[in-house]
Every structure is written in C-alpha cells, then in structure tokens.
Amino acid sequence: MAGAMRTRNQRLAPEVNRALYVRNLPFKITSEEMYDIFGKYGPIRQIRLGNAQDTRGTAFVVYEDIYDAKNALEHLSGFNVCGRYLVVLYYQQTRMQKKLDTAAKAEELKRKREELGLDDDEEDM
C-alpha cells in the first residue's frame, strides 16, 4: 500500500497522459484480445483499432487513470504478441497534428504545381 501511495505522489513527465498509441500489432488482433492485454493494468475507457490500409497494426488505448497508462506503457513496450513486439508510446496530439499538417501542405503544393503546369522535370533546367 505504501508503494502505491509513493507512485501516486511522484511528478510525471509532461508527455505522460492517459492515451497510449500502440504500433506493430498483429493485423488479426481483436478488441477483446486488446482488452485482455491492456486491461491488466487498470480500467480502460476506450480502445480504437486501426482498420484502414494505412492504420492497420496500430491502436489507441485510453485509460481512466494516468498512472495506469504509465504502468501499462512501462510493462507492455516490447511485449511479444503473436511473434510481434509491441511499440507503446504516449499519444502526443501536437506531434500527430504536425504530421497531418505536413501531409496537407504537401498535397496543396502538389495541387498548385498541377494548376500552374509546373513539373518536377522543369526544375532540373
């Protein structure tokens, strides 16, 4: 009991939050299996499995308590599931937003180039 109180009183790093981003999952894993694996570390609010072609093998796991998420990350990073080692990270909204912004800007640039009739071959001249 004293150990549990000691961990509750410690300061957490700024990137620690209740949402975890999980990569390298087997494509055939089910939500029930995810609840079995991640539920051992505390009550889970939500699990979202990636089902699109570019998000398969990834998931978001949201815990009720930040300390449960921290404990799960510490214990499940590198955990072997069906021959695949899990990569568990804290979800960082700003980092994900930057990736989306970069992709959107690249798409806009491509559209503008087509609109103006510029090709990559013309840059070499």
User: Whole-angstrom Cα distance, residue 67 to residue 10?
Assistant: 10
C-alpha distances out from residue 38 to 35, 71, 74, 90, 96, Å: 5, 10, 12, 14, 22
DSSP 52-84: STTTTT-EEEEESSHHHHHHHHHHHTT-EETTE
Predicted TM-score (pTM) of the model is: 0.67
Residue 100 contacts residue 77 (beta carbons within 8 Å): no
Q: What is the mean pLDDT of residues 119-125?
A: 54
pLDDT in tens, 69-90: 999 999 999 999 999 999 999 9
